[in-house]
């Protein structure tokens, strides 16, 4: 797999989006799911976390969940999913630690992370509906998630 040479906020190419859509991630029970199915029908904020055990990522998802309620998601026409690079066995603990109500998927091969240029860190992307990306942010260090007010503005969430 050729790794993209992307700037921190560079939008993936159409070719990369098509390839990404064909990759598989695991749901919370370990079942394979096509990554593209997560955003095929609706605009979806996908938050990539560095590790299920990363304190910064745990805090970020906790804070995200405190603000983004189901009614705010509906008003913005948005779904939110979380993707982590560890095994699906650790999702339950992460969900409990963050009180996360969003669907969580694991990518133990890191294929989605690598194709998006998030090789050592995570990031935030808005995909869909279909194979489009309207927002991209790749973390440059372990504390570089998108600031929540900036993220909320980008996805149309009113706080």
- Residue 115 sits in a domain of what CATH number? 3.40.30.10
CA 74 – CA 76 distance, rounded (Å):
5
**121 vs 5, residue with greater confidence:** 121
Look at residue 81 and tell me if it is in a domain: yes
Look at residue 18 and tell me if it is in a domain: yes
Q: Is the pLDDT of residue 5 over 60?
A: no
pLDDT in tens, 104-149: 999 999 999 999 999 889 999 999 999 999 999 999 988 889 999 9
CA 64 – CA 145 distance, rounded (Å):
11
Average pLDDT, the chain: 92
Look at residue 76 and tell me if it is in a domain: yes
Look at residue 158 and tell me if it is in a domain: no
Q: What's the number of domains the chain is made of?
A: 1
Identify the helix (H) or strand (E) that includes residue 53.
Answer: none
Tell me the whole-structure pTM to 2 decimals: 0.93
**Which region, left, alpha or beta, applies to residue 134 given φ > 0 means left and ψ of -120 to 50 means alpha?**
alpha
**How large is the average pLDDT for residues 11-31?**
95
Q: Please say whether the beta carbons of 145 and 57 come within 8 A.
A: yes
Look at residue 8 and tell me if it is in a domain: no
pLDDT score of 6: 63
Look at residue 114 and tell me if it is in a domain: yes
pLDDT in tens, 68-84: 999 999 999 999 999 99
Structure tokens at 98: 């963050």
**Residue whose token pair is 């007010």:** 149
Look at residue 133 and tell me if it is in a domain: yes
Q: Is the pLDDT of residue 64 over 50?
A: yes
Q: What domain range is 116 assigned to?
A: 14-85+92-152
Look at residue 65 and tell me if it is in a domain: yes
């Amino acid at each position: 797999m050729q790794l993209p040479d992307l700037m921190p906020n560079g939008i993936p190419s159409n070719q990369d989006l098509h390839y990404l859509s064909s990759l598989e991630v695991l749901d919370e029970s370990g079942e394979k799911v096509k990554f593209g199915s997560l955003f095929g029908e609706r605009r979806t904020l996908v938050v990539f976390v560095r590790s299920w055990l990363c304190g910064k990522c745990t805090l970020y998802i906790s804070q995200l969940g405190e603000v983004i309620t189901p009614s705010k998601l509906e008003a913005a026409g948005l779904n939110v999913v979380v993707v982590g690079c560890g095994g699906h066995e650790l999702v339950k603990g992460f969900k409990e630690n963050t009180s996360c109500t969003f669907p969580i998927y694991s990518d133990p091969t890191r294929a989605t992370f690598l194709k998006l240029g998030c090789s050592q860190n995570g990031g935030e992307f808005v995909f869909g509906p279909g194979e489009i990306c309207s927002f991209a942010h790749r973390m440059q260090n372990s504390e570089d998630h998108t600031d929540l007010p900036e993220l909320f503005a980008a996805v149309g969430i009113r706080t």
